[in-house]
Amino acid sequence: MTRLTADEVPGSFDVAAKDYDLLVGLNPGYHRALRTSARALGLRRGVTAPRVLDLGCGTGASTAALLDVFPDAEVVAVDASAGMLARARAKRWPDTVTFVHSRVEDLDVSGPFDAVFAAYLVRNLPDPDASLRTVRGLLKPGAPLVVHEYSVRDSLLRSAIWTALCGLVVVPAGLLFTRDRTLYTYLWRSVLRFDGAGALRDRLRRNGFVGVRSRPVPGGQLGVVHTFIGRAPVREQS
């Protein structure tokens, strides 16, 4: 069985796209957890609708979560997988939503944004530090970045729970629907290898974000999914 690299992940999501919504639908807390993290952006309604960059939008689950929480937002939704974006674009959206096919490292969108939301993305980036610096540069001074991501490395118990969940549910379900376990085995391994919560907070700080904090997503995510919050500095450090 071939092991995926980060560069190969978007192509694998192209293949998995047609069954992706069905698979995540097997997780009853998936969409609720996205809405929980979206609320952490803390955007206030005002005269001007907030402009939000939705990175790693996939088939549009994170986009829908943002609109559920901030219905007046203008959302620019970005994903590196053409197959996932095709599924997202086929759904009904307000005119305030725009979809862009791009890797983060090649992103060419006009800032600044009032907020950036990145769900299940940072772990899959070939160069997360460079991408986070790019994201910081697209934010208004003081504007928030929220990262919604798996993180189990700080806890042997959470790592064991994640491994059991993947072995009993995630990988078998992926194999059943797609006839290929490669992407879902990559998911299992990538989460185990990825930053613990403390390391990801440090990564955000190292790449210029301030006021960094995190918390586990409550409910059925079993402590393996976290909300990470940081802000672009009001003044860039020299």
Q: How far apart are CA 135 and CA 104, in angstroms?
A: 8
In a domain, 177, yes or no: no
Domain count, the chain: 1
pLDDT at 170: 84
Question: pLDDT tens, position by position, for the chain (238 residues)?
Answer: 456 666 777 777 776 677 777 777 777 788 999 999 999 999 976 657 899 999 999 999 999 999 999 999 999 999 999 999 999 999 999 999 999 999 998 999 988 999 999 999 999 999 999 999 999 999 999 999 999 999 999 999 999 999 998 898 888 887 777 777 788 888 889 999 999 999 999 999 999 999 999 999 987 677 899 999 999 999 755 4
CA distances from 95 to 8, 56, 67, 76, 230 (A): 32, 20, 12, 11, 29
Q: How far apart are CA 112 and CA 106, in angstroms?
A: 17
- pTM for the structure as a whole: 0.92
- CATH number of 94's domain: 3.40.50.150
DSSP tag of 170: I
The β-bridge partners of 147 are 118, 228
pLDDT at 1: 43
In a domain, 2, yes or no: no
The β-bridge partners of 115 are 52
Q: How far apart are CA 70 and CA 94, in angstroms?
A: 13
In a domain, 172, yes or no: no
Domain containing residue 76? 28-152+196-231
In a domain, 159, yes or no: no
pLDDT at 238: 47
In a domain, 118, yes or no: yes
pLDDT at 46: 64
In a domain, 54, yes or no: yes
In a domain, 220, yes or no: yes
Q: How far apart are CA 62 and CA 65, in angstroms?
A: 5
In a domain, 17, yes or no: no
